[in-house]
Amino acid sequence: MSRTLEPALARGESGSGKPSSALTLTAALLGFGLTCLDASVVNVALPTIGSSFGAGMSGLQWVVDAYTLAFAALMLSTGAFSDRAGASRAYALGTAVFTLASVACGLAPGLPALVGARVVQGVAAAVVLPASLALVRQAYPEPARRARAVAAWAAGGSLAVALGPVAGGALTTAWNWRGIFFVNVPVGAVILLLLLRAPRSRPRPAPLDLPGQLTAVVALAALAFAVIEGGTAGLAAVAVAVVAGAAFLWIEARQAHPVVPLGLFRDRTVATAVAAGSAVSVAFYSMVFVFSLFFQQVQHHSALYAGLLFLPMTSLIAVTNVVAGKLTGRYGPRLPMLVGQPVAAAGLLVLLCVDAGTPPVLVALLLIPLALGCALTVPPLTAAMMDAVPAERAGLAAGVLNAARQVSGGMGIAVFGALVADGFETGMRLSLVTGAALLTVTSALSFRLSGRSASRA
């Protein structure tokens, strides 16, 4: 993950490297960890939330996708916003809003209020992420120290992803589902206190493509509504998504500084990296969603036990990311991608044997190949994309890749959630086959990549 966003550091201010650097890094790490945690912690709590509000499958999908899609869509512009406002100011604003939105989530009297607060959380998270990277750049201007700081920043995110399902299960069991949001409040307060010691960032001019951003948000929201809700309203939403999508493409083709430069995709390496990243996100995040429900609604285990069952899967991600980075440095991106994607696809197909009577520990072990394959694929696809673009466009390309991955994960949850709503085990198997097919296609595309890494930066 760090290699996906590291180029965005170039937008930060230089810092002094004083002892306050460690406090700044701690603040940045905590904020990044919160945004990662809230993308995964809620999954295990979904059945309890559904019972609390009498919500069906579509309502549970919105609890996840309201955050994910807002996060993804706004990520296209929030890097520029961070530059214009100054990283420290943007980070403080994002953290404060995120903390207040977490309180609103915890106090939500009903599902609509919870979904609305999750949208605000997602918007705030989109501000926090690029600003946190700029703060690291500001605090550590020397390349060697900055590399170590970015590694620590990335480790915090990986740890949050790994602990998300366990933390969600533990908080839901020991307290209730509201605890998964209230736990953000003291962390947010600590971040704001640490920022008092961080050097102030100077605002700098950065172009904003507001028409492109607005049409992207409308298109994604309408598409998600169409998939989740269906029916006549869903058909109307499809029409809105098509019109907004066409407007987005028209605007981006004519903007001097578009949020998504369409010319990027003429490079086959960029197109392949975005496609592979999207397929991995669909496979990984959608399956965490589906199996969170499977463990609790089909096998009737507690939220805590369900969270623990994800630990073998998620705990290996950070280690595998490191191995994938080393393989990419030695052999280039193609080899690890050609290994990782088929492993993930095979892992999905192996899960076809799972049913309500499968021992849960066995299911947990069968989820490991999916995690290993995805973790082996992300660092090389990121490196391939960064090698394919000039240095001055690296931050923008990183934003596009991350937004595409987040959107794909959210849409995957919407589609697979709709499938399992019509019959869980049948829908689960269809979801597994669909994910495996996507990874097979992107594996074939990955043959087009160079066998060696040759950075143009």
Range with lowest mean pLDDT among 88-97, 180-189, 385-394, 428-437: 385-394
Q: Domain check: are 225 and 365 in the same one?
A: no
Contact of 99 with 175, CB cutoff 8 Å = no
The tokens for 12 are 């930060």
364 domain-assigned: yes
Say if residue 238's pLDDT is above 70: yes
Residue 384 belongs to domain with CATH number: 1.20.1250.20
Q: Tally Cβ neighbours within 10 Å of residue 228.
A: 23
So what's the pLDDT on residue 278? 93
The tokens for 282 are 């669909």
Q: Domain check: are 14 and 114 in the same one?
A: yes
Say if residue 351's pLDDT is above 70: yes
Condensed to tens digits (0 to 9), the pLDDT of residues 379-396 reads 888 778 877 777 556 566
The larger pLDDT score, comparing residue 244 to residue 135, is at 244
Condensed to tens digits (0 to 9), the pLDDT of residues 104-126 reads 999 999 999 999 999 999 999 98
Q: Which of 198, 230, 249 is the last residue of a domain?
A: 198
Judge if pTM exceeds 0.75: yes
Alpha carbons 325 and 333: distance in angstroms, whole number? 9
Q: Domain check: are 363 and 245 in the same one?
A: no
271 domain-assigned: yes
Q: Domain check: are 347 and 244 in the same one?
A: no
408 domain-assigned: yes
So what's the pLDDT on residue 78? 76
So what's the pLDDT on residue 160? 80
Q: Domain check: are 64 and 145 in the same one?
A: yes
Q: Which of 198, 221, 246 is the last residue of a domain?
A: 198
Q: Domain check: are 111 and 242 in the same one?
A: no
Its domain, for residue 268, covers 264-448
| CA distance readout (Å), 233 to 60, 111, 237, 240 | 18, 19, 6, 11
146 domain-assigned: yes
Say if residue 325's pLDDT is above 80: no
DSSP per position, 289-324: HHHHHIIIIIS---HHHHHHHTHHHHTTHHHHHHHH
Of 155, 170, 13, which is closest to residue 87 (Cα–Cα)? 13
Alpha carbons 440 and 117: distance in angstroms, whole number? 37
Range with lowest mean pLDDT among 85-89, 144-148, 410-414: 144-148
Total count of domains within the chain? 3
Q: Domain check: are 223 and 352 in the same one?
A: no
The tokens for 310 are 């994800």
Q: Domain check: are 114 and 141 in the same one?
A: yes
Say if residue 422's pLDDT is above 90: no
The tokens for 420 are 């399992």
Alpha carbons 424 and 60: distance in angstroms, whole number? 14
Q: Domain check: are 319 and 176 in the same one?
A: no
**Residue 203 φ then ψ, to 5°:** -65, 150
For the chain, give the mean pLDDT: 83
The tokens for 240 are 């809105």
405 domain-assigned: yes
Q: Domain check: are 59 and 169 in the same one?
A: yes
Condensed to tens digits (0 to 9), the pLDDT of residues 270-304 reads 899 899 999 999 999 899 989 999 999 899 999 88
The pLDDT confidence band at residue 345, using thresholds 50, 70 and 90, is very high
Range with lowest mean pLDDT among 317-321, 363-367, 434-438: 317-321
191 domain-assigned: yes
454 domain-assigned: no
The greatest distance separating any two alpha carbons of the chain, rounded to the nearest whole angstrom, comes to 60
The larger pLDDT score, comparing residue 137 to residue 4, is at 137
Beta strands in 69-188 (DSSP E): none
230 domain-assigned: yes
Say if residue 340's pLDDT is above 90: yes
Q: Domain check: are 280 and 338 in the same one?
A: yes
Q: Domain check: are 156 and 9 in the same one?
A: yes
So what's the pLDDT on residue 329? 78
Condensed to tens digits (0 to 9), the pLDDT of residues 367-382 reads 999 999 998 888 888 7
**Residue 356 φ then ψ, to 5°:** -60, -25
- Taking the alpha carbons at both ends of the chain, their separation in whole angstroms is 19
Q: Which residues of 262-274 are buried (b: 16+ CB within 10 A; e: fewer)?
A: eebeeeebbbbbb
